[in-house]
Amino acid sequence: MSNTAKAIRIGTMIKGNAPDPAAYVKSILAHGFESFEPFFWQVMNKDLPRLAEELKEAIGDEDVTMSTLGMFGNPLEDTEIDRETLKGWEALIDNAHHFGATTIAGFTGRVRGKPIEESLPQYRKVWTELAKRAADKGVKLAFENCAMDGNWASGDWNIAHNPDAWEMIFNEVPADNIGLEWEPCHQMVYLIDPLPQIRKWAPKIFHVHGKDATIRWEVIREHGIFGKEKFVFMRSPGFGDTNWVDVISELRLAGWSGSIDIEGWHDPVYRNELEMTGQVHSLNYLKQSRGGSYVPNP
């Protein structure tokens, strides 16, 4: 495959706190993933230089990168586990180079149960320091555009889920190394058209998650949204409503390069024993959407 085609890699996320992430990487490497995003949920309990070495050994001579690491939790609050999340961000920033990573992604955090505006002072305090720490090491910080069941008025995890909020947080901490971990799914859940966002926000999109959604318009017309009947399902790419040829075309037109890492474990059909079946379908669908090699299922 040409270097131009592979300027956008297709990969998947791996659970960094799993008992043996390297063994998992070895078990799925033959499917043809081109990148991995090791991520942690709230607590990071690994020796990071050792983990990086084990993952690189598992990858071996394959042309596979780990350009983004993930730390998901609420670093703005002050419970013990929230403080662990903040420590996790600091540790990943400091150890990104062991993985060859240049981006750390996750949630902004949030003052729980309060409107987005009330989180801004604490956001400014925490992320001004983290942005400087990261900039000193050549690392970018990317906020996933996920509401985690929150909204503008209230929530527990993240304020970077709405384009109006993006304007506010980027103004609050105007650092060049703060941006987005973007995906269409989380915008579709709120009935926002995701494609125009790429045209406007591409310079701030540091990483892309491969996740889609299916909107059930017949349910919306009869029952509305956020009612008794589920009006939207999160889907893996290739099973949802998004034409990823359009997504990748818009990214290319904006001069974007990087990894699209599939965020699994959400699809209502391809889950549990069908999880990897769904992910491999998404991998090959995204490769075809990008242009490049198709890898048959081993």
Within-domain flag for 233: no
What pLDDT is recorded for position 185? 97
Within-domain flag for 235: no
Within-domain flag for 43: yes
What pLDDT is recorded for position 297? 46
Other C-beta atoms closer than 10 Å to the C-beta of 27 total 12
CATH number of the domain encompassing residue 153? 3.20.20.150
Q: Alpha carbon 106 to chain centroid distance?
A: 7
Within-domain flag for 185: yes
- pLDDT tens, residue order, the chain (298 aa): 456 778 999 999 999 999 999 999 999 999 999 999 999 999 999 999 999 999 999 999 999 999 999 999 999 999 999 999 999 999 999 999 999 999 999 999 999 999 999 999 999 999 999 999 999 999 999 999 999 999 999 999 999 999 999 999 999 999 999 999 999 999 999 999 999 999 999 999 999 999 999 999 999 999 999 899 999 999 999 999 999 999 999 999 999 999 999 999 999 999 999 999 999 999 999 999 998 654 444 4
Within-domain flag for 105: yes
Within-domain flag for 275: no
Two tokens at 9?
Answer: 């890699």
Q: How many domains does the chain have?
A: 1
User: Residue 194 is part of which domain span?
Assistant: 4-210+242-265
Q: Please report, as a single letter, which amino acid is at residue 185.
A: C
Within-domain flag for 121: yes
Within-domain flag for 65: yes
